[in-house]
Structure 1
């Protein structure tokens, strides 16, 4: 990885190897091929164009330039994966193609769960995709989420634990609480994840005994809200643009369903 601009990640490199697109000294390479140095490594993509079914899925673009884009991810769609309907598949039709020499098919720089809504960052050139990946790796992207949780909570705190054998850290602050006949108490909680583990926010809140409303996977039996989706929203992203070096802060307003439970006007207009 690193010598081919078309292979930006380890998974992309593995796919290229599996499709027999890489050769070493003229021989098709595999993951078991050993490199000593001095070999001729070639990556070949067939120019044959095949007709493919295109996804038509409009997305709300919140920010875009020649290098990257930030958009709103709706609920009920995967960011990427082995399925036809994904955000990744919908990006080319929703974004303006970069005019830079290393322009490529837009790629998400991180993930949001299938039921989660909110801001999603994508790169539009090979170099910007690598730079954005490095920003996340170096923890230089500040993320803010809002969730609706069940049960009376402390007003603020830190959650640290091992998730999948790796350290994880989330800060939380309760913005508002209301009484609920079915759930006793519902809270509007501001969340700032310091790490990015899979299902981190959902697992952290569930571990406290305060699962997110609508969470069918980590919710409490008898207190799972069906049919309304998961009340977890990626509200904002803040980072220094890897090329222009300007401060980028983009927000996606809390969904209307949050406003049916809490006063969100101040948050959406902050």
Structure 2
């Protein structure tokens, strides 16, 4: 009705409502190679390198790095492609990018309702011989992670290293990293929740989002995308095993 009102005002029949759309500033493209795993008119799935923030008030982000690298959607496009979810900066792996308004809304709803299934590969300190369901509350909220053992090998520095798949049933902040630390098998390279001795110079965090499973927001077709973890995972396990065999009796 031509007046500014507070959020406590009750709208009545006949009221005239005027909404102002805040103008978003287009991100500045960041020149960095980004591997595109999947792309169609609605969305894309890309690989986020370790050490790159997904988005935020930075210039060097995945959101900025994908600008100009994806084809524009032909059906109700967003002003620019946007990540649907985030990975921690030190975590590498698969990220879904929405290209259309419809995809962003639908994928956002799926994410909120835990309909986007994610699987991570990690290297943990110590020997884990069987699959584990981790159920520890984080910040007072139920938090569940399913852990499946792939293999373990002897390590000179850590006795053993175990390669696992981790599936977050819930989605708490730093859930996988916290849960791994809580079961006394922190992720190698985790400077925040692990131990000082497991941070390897220039090697980063050994955690990668390797699988995504979700329904396409437009066609409803089930999409399954899977990649191999970075080569550094197997290289570290093999290097540690060789060192163990060489020096175990010294």
Q: Bin the TM-score by the shorter chain.
A: 0.7 to 0.9
Report deviation, 1:223. 3.3
Correspondence for 2:43: 68
Decide whether aligned partners of structure 1 residues 130 and 52 sit closer, same or farther in structure 2, where only a CA change above 3 A counts.
closer
Counterpart Cα distance in 1 of 2:118 and 2:28: 34
1:41 maps to which residue?
18
Aligned to 2:96: 121
- Aligned 8 A contact 1:72 1:252 in 2: no
Higher RCO, 1 vs 2 (CA within 8 Å, ≥6 residues apart): 2
Q: How many residues align?
A: 235
Would you say 1:96 and 2:71 are equivalent positions?
A: yes
Cα gap change, 1:220 to 1:35, in 2 (>3 Å): same
Query: In the alignment, what sits opposite 1:166?
Result: 141
**Any unmatched runs of 5+ in structure 1?**
1-23, 264-270
Corresponding residue for residue 178 of structure 1: 153
The answer to whether residue 108 in structure 2 is matched with residue 133 in structure 1 is yes
Show CA shifts across 1:48-107 (max 9, x none): xx9985422221111111111100000111001111111112222221110113433211
Q: Output aligned runs, 1:1-270, within 5 Å.
A: 25=2, 27=4, 33-37=7-11, 38-44=15-21, 53-262=28-237
TM-score for the superposition, normalised by structure 2: 0.86
Partner Cα separation in structure 2 for residue 246 and residue 124 of structure 1? 17
Decide whether the 8 Å contact of 1:206 with 1:219 is kept in 2.
yes
Contact kept? 1:149, 1:212, Cα under 8 Å:
yes
Cα deviation, 1:164-186, whole Å, max 9, x if unaligned, reads 22211100011111111111110
Partners in 1 of 2:234 and 2:129 — Cα distance? 22
1:116 CA drift (Å): 0.6
Report the alpha carbon displacement of residue 248 of structure 1 after superposing the two structures with TM. 0.5
- 1: CA distance, partners of 2:166 / 2:54: 21
Structure 1 length as normaliser, TM-score?
A: 0.80
Question: Matched residues in 2 for 1:163 and 1:124: separation?
Answer: 33
In the alignment, is the contact (CA less than 8 A) between 2:150 and 2:162 conserved in 1? yes
